[in-house]
Structure 1
Amino acid sequence: MTAATQNAEEDLIYMDGFDLENPELDEAIKDRALTSGGYPYTEKMKTKDYEKHLRALQIELVKLQRHLAESGERVLALFEGRDSAGKGGTIKRFLENLNPRNARTVALPVPSDRERTQWYFQRYVTHLPSGGEIVLFDRSWYNRAVVEPVMGFCTPSQTENFLHEAPPFERMIAEEGIHLFKFWLEIGREMQLKRFHDRQHDPLKIWKLSPVDLKALEKWDEYTKARNKMFVATDTPDTPWTLIRANDKKRARIAAIQSVLWPIDYADKDFSAIGEIDHKIVMSPEGFLAKTG
């Protein structure tokens, strides 16, 4: 454990019966996790149903990739959301049966000193998809809208400039013909606590915890305000956000893949295999905020 991680843990650990260091998660948090944040299901999707549907969707993704290779069309998907919302796991299910030559994920590190002097979007532009490619961003330029201002990594004026510049930047991407998807994965408070606790006590998951992640636990409300401000500024008719309620990772993964497959025409598309999108968990930001306040 690094000194920074230890300091961050010492700053936080107890809230509403939550103790990150205790191997036993508080029963009240465990009981409320799945339905937290107003999640509409009281049970997770059955594994058998999930695996069957996921396989069908991944077959459709292979068809889509073949279409992109033949047509030269491009797909770009941004995955944002609460820490531990399941961005990486969803991306993994997108890519695991695709040809990696034309399907890739982008997860950029902290910008270098040189990159900090560039136009903010510049380092992202080089990773946009070429003809026939699928590119999935595990966090994106929207760091400047949520993570950076909440954690004090940028100034308020830098965030305001970003929120002003993002819509025309994305409009150019869409007008170039790139299929652009912007996903926000949302989880409830207790679910986030549970997932962080799981990571802390699983030696195969502990690497997922960073000092920034740990600090996020005590900044729930600040993240909410930044998220809502981002939605107001950047949820546009040209490049809308798709919000997916992700307390159940299985349902969220299914929903994200469906949301990419439905709008794009490709040969031998099997609509029955894709299935209807579950609008209990997939909605616009406006619809979500109307439900949750």
Structure 2
Amino acid sequence: MEKSIKRYFPVFLGPTFLAFIIGFIVPFIMGLYLSLCDFRTVTDAKFVGLSNFVKAFQDTEFLHAFLFTSAFTVVTVVLINVIAFAVAMVLTQNVPGTNIFRTTFFMPNLIGGIVLGYIWQLIFNGILARYDLALKISAKYGFWGLVIVLCWQQIGYMMIIYIAGLQSIPGDLNEAAQIDGANGWQRLWNVTIPNMMPSITICTFLTLTNGFKLFDQNLSLTAGEPMKQTEGLALNIFNTFYARVGWQGVGQAKAVVFFILVVGLGLLQLRMTRSKEVQQ
């Protein structure tokens, strides 16, 4: 049976590997090359070296988008994980209607980002209109509006991961700690959280990368207004590539920098949290 599976291994792997090459590897290599070119279409690319990267780092809008996205990501990573963990702790207790609550919290994750942004734009503007205000007149309103939208969308998803982690902890560990006289906080910090590190690693990675890659909600909720003060990195790259004539190469260079940044931060976070898993 094992030899038969190994014989047909290329049959199963081949189509997936081919699709990966066509859909990711080839476009990625082309993107790296185009980031070094001045072009309007991929057929008229002219090699210009690193000048696109120089223009990208000299673009004040790009630097502001980086700072905005960094602040946004820090806030959402903390809020989403803390709230999702707290909700998971509650829903793993003997609470009536637990399944209904789990389903309700998870449902926002099923709504597309564009639709979600427009729905919340109506909600926020409806509330702010009572005070003669609007979402897009202040960067502060836009920032916290995006934070609320992303938290509302992703807390339920992270909650499911945390619930799975909590349910995998052997019950006798908490019982032993309780017998030894540990109170609730001591059991949380010394038993629950150390055993939850795999789930914490996954959730932190997802919220970190999702925060930096925010696009749909940013486009539909604020569109970067007012005056691009709420423009995230992904939206800035989109606007550079499609809205600024002759800046396609710069937009592609920004995309490469963005890719390196997200991958680097993701790997750094995984290394830090996994090192704690090993220590535990």
Q: Which is helix-richer, 1 or 2? A: 2
Instruction: Report the TM-score when normalising by structure 2.
Output: 0.27
Q: Which has the larger radius of gyration?
A: 2
